[in-house]
Chain A
């Protein structure tokens, strides 16, 4: 037994001729169907190129409009010719002009000889396919499609909508269950003959003439009626992009194609010289690497994913998402700390260790950017110039988070900083804002100036901080926030600090026993009272704990024992 190849061709005829010659040279008869629309001059060229090969024949020609019945007709014409002209053919392998055999012909022959009664055709019921694009699955079979999708898109869409509106449905002929699958199959002589000589064929053909993309359903449906053994897979590797268009294989896919278990691949770029040369001339005897079809699947699945979902947090010349589509999202979770550095002597180094990340100072300080170790230029070339940063604070922050993917970033933020970034932070689902409200007053108190002198400043900063908290707390906000009034925080600093570590570094196993050292706060309560006496109302600080003045200054608060 041997097999024959039916080739449906319409462009790159020089490549088609090369492939036809390859099949024929290895003993496979070939029948070529050439799209009716190909000019005679080109057809003559192809015929001429293959004239020395008696087992390469040409079938009658019909026009093959994509998505229309012509492609099925072409297949029927060429397959009939194959069955009639070459009685020794046991399987018919359907290929296109841009298919390339990627394994030795001998392999395919042996494979088919071992499975003489099996039809290799992807054939899946409409309910089970997940891969059709455009939302037309079942409707391919129940609506009429007289218009070309490629050339008469408007009419096509209009007519589909009209039929839906009017509730028009075609009846699916008795006895058939619609199946879909790759156009590229390999059927046995017995099955093909049974399909082509089926008593109901004219009825089926009439029906399929108005089905959309019948080349993906005609044989896939009818084979189920006649075949005893369908193996539902294509022997031809084909990958599709997110719009359902076939991917093209180029020279750089050589290694990948060599790892495929399929016998042919499409589509091959017409100028992929290396692929044609390798697979048509050298590969017949070359050793193959171990098959790894999963790798191919993963690569193309990832490509679709990348095209459709992009890379969250990246803004560049071919990705700039709208607000609702990721336009307000950075690349990774990060921590924003309001007030903490005013309370501890060594908060930043402590936090860096606890969350195993990078802890910057005030990135949005008005004079200059305070990168973690005071760098003038940070990763990716980010400058410490406040002017550059403030020109586009959102780009600054998203770049910083993007540039440091894989390392958690934290930074201090306070009411003295440039606030414009707050809007972005509030909308960013990756932002985690930790705030000890009112802590901004501590440095003012520690400056030694009197309540009278600083009351204006305290009021101003309090307003800014209140606005920020309201922004991040609003129902529209996507940032996560944990906040404590200064009073609440000082009651028991260990607990909030643990919350922070858990949120920013959820994988950490070992709870840290040591904590950062609080600054001495004895006298702060009376400072707040002085402010009140001056007529100012400090509200964000909450009620100071009565023990404040007796808090052991300069010592770490006691951490509760970890619960294992």
Chain B
């Protein structure tokens, strides 16, 4: 995990994955100025690396994480996340990660594919009060259930999924630039593997085949994306100024501007989150035979 000023989100996000069976957290702290560093230092199951170098120049943190994975991840099932992502997968409350990874091992699957699901509040994003340790889902429980665009990227054989609320609300005129939502965050790591951009695609390309092409379906999960907590407005203004988040950040200034304008993202067609079974029924994740 690579973080910057996430003191608010860290307690819950670590706890969520800790309860799920994550044994150790390896975190790159990219120059936090809030309480993140101190809080992380107090955790028994966290190792922290500090850097003030450019996030963008390290390919958005992936060079740092790639090195940690190579050095410490070999032979382990490794989960690579952002601080605003909560992994859920079929039966996650009753079957911790070791159960999932044993299942994947038995299936001969080296990785788990997920969809990043943007969650948003009922009203404008600035409303509500979020304190460190709170469950973000008490504020964010709406999502778009069926507006995802799926295509294959032939070069690496990975899927390219876009859509969701951000495409609908912020990128309707420039859909190609809408955020990529497919990720492969859980991998039985080998030192020769590498993430190509964020955790969207891996090398070697065979690892990207987390989907069935014969009409069947494999096991998959969802990353609940808690980006749209009240802090997003200040953060967006700051990110826009830093220009560290996109290769050509100027093209995304409209996106930041719309976020800073405190939008209401919920529509009459939005769906209220109730749990993984709902996501499976909607076709946003799959048990893939793991009943």
Contact = CB atoms under 8 A, between A and B. Distances in A.
B211 A242 contact: no
Given A309-B215, A310-B215, A391 B289 contact: no
B113 interface: yes
B215 A326 contact: yes
Interface string A399-417: 1001100000000000000
A170 interface: no
Interface string B171-188: 111111000001000000
A306 B287 contact: yes
A106 to B, nearest CB: 29
Given A251-B94, A383-B168, A317 B115 contact: yes
Contacts of A377: 168, 267-269
A175 to B, nearest CB: 39
A300 B267 contact: no
B263 interface: no
Given A318-B211, A378-B269, A388 B220 contact: no
Nearest to B109: A318
Interface stretch (B53-61, B66-74, B159-167, B234-242): B159-167
B264 interface: no
B252 to A, nearest CB: 17
A308 B214 CA distance: 8
Interface of B is mostly: loop
A243 to B, nearest CB: 8
B230 interface: no
B211 A383 contact: no
Contacts of A378: 269
A474 interface: no
B119 to A, nearest CB: 13
A124 to B, nearest CB: 24
A87 B29 CA distance: 69
B80 interface: no
Nearest to B91: A252
Given A319-B212, A381-B269, A387-B175, A402 B99 contact: no
Nearest to A256: B291
A209 interface: no
A251 B93 CA distance: 10
A316 B150 contact: yes
B147 interface: yes
A319 B270 contact: no
Contacts of A307: 216-218, 288-289
Contact of A395 (B106, B148, B219, B267): B148
Nearest to A241: B289
Interface residues of B, number: 61
B191 interface: no
Given A269-B99, A387-B175, A380 B146 contact: yes
Nearest to B175: A391
Interface in A229-285: 241-242, 245, 247-248, 250-252, 269, 271
Interface in B79-110: 91, 94-96, 98-99, 102-103, 106
Interface string A294-317: 000001101110111111101111
A391 B99 contact: no
A213 B125 CA distance: 61
Given A271-B96, A306-B289, A385-B172, A318 B269 contact: no
Contacts of B201: none
Given A325-B213, A381-B144, A319 B172 contact: no
B145 A316 contact: no
A251 to B, nearest CB: 5
A250 B290 CA distance: 11
B78 interface: no
A161 interface: no
A561 interface: no
B25 to A, nearest CB: 21
A402 B150 contact: no
A241 B147 CA distance: 32
B114 interface: yes
Contacts of B91: 250, 252
Contacts of A292: none
Given A311-B283, A318-B220, A381 B147 contact: yes
Interface in A318-355: 318-322, 325-326
B145 A381 contact: yes
Contacts of B176: 391
B113 A299 contact: no
Contact of A381 (B96, B106, B168, B287): B168
Contact of A382 (B146, B214, B219, B271): B146
A321 B289 contact: no
B275 to A, nearest CB: 13
B113 to A, nearest CB: 4
A300 B287 CA distance: 12
B165 to A, nearest CB: 7
Nearest to A389: B175
A250 B99 contact: yes
Given A245-B106, A271-B98, A318-B219, A395 B283 contact: no
A380 B144 contact: yes
A334 to B, nearest CB: 15
B38 interface: no
A200 interface: no
Contacts of B159: 317, 320
A317 B146 contact: no
A382 B269 contact: yes
Contacts of A395: 148-151, 163
B152 interface: yes
Nearest to A251: B94
A375 B168 CA distance: 14
A198 interface: no
A379 interface: yes
B147 A317 contact: no
B291 A299 contact: yes
Contact of A383 (B172, B268, B288): B172
B210 interface: yes
Contacts of A316: 115, 148, 150, 161, 211, 217, 220, 283-286
A392 interface: yes
B182 A317 contact: yes
Contact of B212 (A250, A300, A321): A321
Contact of B213 (A242, A320, A380): A320
B43 to A, nearest CB: 24
A87 B175 CA distance: 77
Given A318-B219, A402-B283, 13 more contacts: A250-B91, A317-B220, A318-B218, A318-B286, A319-B215, A325-B215, A381-B145, A381-B164, A385-B173, A387-B172, A396-B149, A399-B147, A403-B145
9 contacts: A242-B289, A269-B95, A308-B215, A314-B217, A316-B284, A316-B286, A317-B114, A380-B146, A391-B149
Ranked nearest first, the 3 interchain pairs of A and B with the lowest CB-CB distance are A380-B146, A307-B289, A381-B144
